[in-house]
């Protein structure tokens, strides 16, 4: 008696397009590079399609997708460890080139740079919670670590950002290089 139900408009709607902004933001925080981030999101969506059976009805779609982005990222890093150094470099250059002129933007660029200089696991944890608003438990699940590990990563990330606050731009002087013309 359920037979004919299949094609009807009662089909549940899964708004993946609406999640792309979140996924791209997270991918950028992980890769620190726009092109790389877009590749990552694309690959994660392909993988999500292959594993669509693992999404449970009533589950949190965004958390599920973010965890796939995370896993895809980890696999990419593993399979291309030799390229990690190159990515690091690219990320750093991209950061420096985005500093904007206004004072407010300068501050934002500093915060951003400090964030991008955090270790990957701390960046990931802080991003999932502070930017995407996941609960600690959801973020722990998305990154495949115990709750306590996730929380200590958040704590260490915050401590590092505070450090930056207290000792502004120390050691970041490579951005202040003045041309040799005078």
Partner 1 sequence: MTALVDPVTDADLDAYVDDQLDVTRRIEVEAFLAARPAAAARVMSDLRTRDELRVALAGSGGMARPATADAARRLERGLGRGRIFGVLQ
Residues that bind partner 1 (CB under 8 A): 2, 5-6, 11-17, 19-21, 24-25, 28-29, 34-35, 37-38, 41-42, 45-46, 48-49, 52-53, 55, 57, 107-109, 111-112, 115, 126-127, 129-131, 133, 135-136, 151, 154-155, 158, 161-162, 165
Nearer to partner 1, 92 or 178 (CB): 92
Which residue, 47 or 77, is less far from partner 1 as judged by CB? 47
User: Least separation, in Å, of the C-beta of 79 and partner 1?
Assistant: 20
Shortest spacing between CB 81 and partner 1, in angstroms:
24
Distance in angstroms (rounded) separating the CA atoms of residues 173 and 59: 46
Question: CB of 156: closest distance to partner 1 in angstroms?
Answer: 10
CB nearer to partner 1: give 12 or 180.
12
């Amino acid at each position: 008696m359920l037979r004919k139900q299949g094609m009807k408009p009662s089909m549940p709607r899964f708004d993946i397009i609406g999640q792309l902004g979140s996924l791209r933001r997270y991918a950028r925080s992980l890769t620190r590079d726009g092109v790389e981030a877009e590749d990552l999101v694309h690959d994660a969506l392909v993988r999500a399609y292959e594993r669509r059976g693992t999404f449970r009805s009533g589950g949190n779609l965004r958390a599920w997708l973010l965890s796939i982005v995370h896993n895809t990222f980890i696999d990419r890093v593993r399979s291309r460890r030799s390229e990690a150094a190159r990515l690091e470099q690219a990320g750093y250059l991209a950061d420096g080139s985005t500093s904007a002129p206004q004072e407010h933007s300068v501050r934002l660029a500093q915060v951003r740079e400090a964030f991008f200089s955090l270790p990957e696991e701390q960046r990931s944890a802080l991003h999932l919670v502070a930017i995407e608003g996941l609960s600690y438990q959801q973020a722990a699940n998305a990154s495949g670590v115990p709750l306590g590990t996730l929380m200590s990563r958040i704590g260490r990330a915050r401590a590092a950002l505070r450090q930056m606050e207290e000792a502004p731009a120390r050691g970041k002087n490579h951005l202040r290089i003045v041309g040799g013309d005078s």
